Structure 1
Amino acid sequence: MIWLALGLGLLALWLWRRSNQLRASTGLPWRTVVYHDTARRELTKALFSARYQLTGKPDYVLADGKALIPVEVKPQRQATSPRQGDILQLAAYCLLLEEATGVAPRYGLLRYAQHTFQVDWTDQLYQALLEALDAMRDDLELNDVERSHEQPWRCRACGFGDRCTDALEYD
């Protein structure tokens, strides 16, 4: 009986250590997950702001006391600094959480393959987000939009390939 108890104790200790190693490998802080959009089969409701006509679903929302922290995960991204588009995407989630809860997040987290970046939710970032949203809405009014890249793989993956007159040739 003592061997069984000792064996179960060692197994519990190993499982506890392994779970801590796995948690640490995520690069994210140890916080309660209050929302996630990572399940493939589970449909989760998007956040929506009527005021900004904006909708989105962060990969995770963590709770830090009463504060909420949006998390966007880009597992294939191999950058050593966050890309501007990713920062604006995270800013949109900060804005959506603020609109939904009435409490502004202090920051959000961008998780790349090897790095986690804390992006502070500031007035400057808020203004940059509003400018980007205005620019995107202006672009929606355009009738003739030129291709913005020279990458055949992007054309191959595009949902407008059957209608695009500017698509690149690819094998």
Structure 2
Amino acid sequence: MRYVSASEVASFVFCPRSWYLNLKGFFPSKSAMKRMNAGAKLHKKLKIENARYVEKFLISRKYMLVGRPDFIIEEENILYPLEFKATKAPPYPYASNIAQLLSYCILVEENFSRPRYGIIKYLNNEFKIPYDEKEKKFIEHVIFTIHTYSALNLKPKAEMNEKCKACGYANTCLRI
């Protein structure tokens, strides 16, 4: 069984089909690549107070999960992940952003101590996302599902919806 990244968890929650296309080596559209590169440049410039670790690579052998949270913050001897998104904040964080952050919470728990929450920081706002048993079980289920799809080489069904407008694989998705 292979390791799954926290970014893959986010991709799978956004759309299992886009996760599959990425896994199989398809490239997102040029406009999607531009957005990702612009975000990566902003990440390098960002400075966060109380950051104990910046982009520290973490591994969970229990869940076969890996990831590199943007920041691991320490406040009052408690560590928690902070994930930066180089976009304006939606009214509430996207499920895929939450899934990625919760994956980082699992990694922080496995490598250091259990965080009570994580933070998603957008350009103009931030959200504190609780990390408890309910959220942990949700991410465990997503990770298990990804491992199952990978092991059985399953291709998720294409489902057209509003998310397709924001997907870097929209032009490829229905052709395979």
Whether these two folds match at TM > 0.5 is: yes
Report the Cα distance in structure 1 between the residues aligned to 2:87 and 2:166, rounded to whole angstroms: 19
Q: 2:169 maps to what in 1?
A: 155
Q: CA deviation at 1:165?
A: 8.0
Equivalent residue number for residue 139 of structure 1: 149
Matches of 2:166 and 2:77, distance apart in 1: 46
Q: Distance in 1 between matches of 2:100 and 2:155?
A: 25
Tell me: CA distance 1:78–1:126, structure 2 relative to 1, closer, same or farther (3 Å): same
Q: CA deviation at 1:134?
A: 1.3
Q: Which residue of 1 aligns with 2:53?
A: 35
Instruction: Provide Cα deviations, 1:10-69, integer angstroms capped at 9, x if missing partner.
Output: xxxxxxxxxxxxxxxx8x9x84111113xxxxxxx5100111100001101111021002
Aligned AA (2:50): T
1:85-110 Cα deviation digits (max 9, x unpaired): 11111111111111111x20111000
Q: Which residue of 2 aligns with 1:95?
A: 106
Unaligned runs of 5+ in 1: 1-25, 38-44
RMSD value over aligned CA atoms? 2.7
Corresponding residue pairs, total: 127
Output the CA distance in 2 between the equivalents of 1:165 and 1:133: 25
Q: How does 1:6-155 map to 2 (within 5 A)?
A: 31-37=49-55, 45-101=56-112, 103-140=113-150, 141-147=152-158, 150-151=164-165, 154-155=168-169
Distance 1:152 1:56, change over 3 A: closer
Identity among equivalent positions (%) equals 23
More helix by share: 2
- Quote the Cα distance in structure 2 between the aligned partners of 1:122 and 1:116: 19
Alpha carbons 1:33, 1:60 under 8 Å: kept:
yes
| Contact 1:31/1:63 (8 A) holds in 2 | no
Q: TM-score, normalised by structure 1?
A: 0.64
Q: Distance in 2 between matches of 1:146 and 1:123?
A: 30
Structure number, greater radius of gyration: 1
Question: Which structure would you say has the larger RCO, counting Cα contacts within 8 Å and 6 or more residues apart?
Answer: 2
Gaps of 5+ in 2: 1-45
Does structure 1 retain, via aligned residues, the 8 Å contact 2:50–2:75?
yes
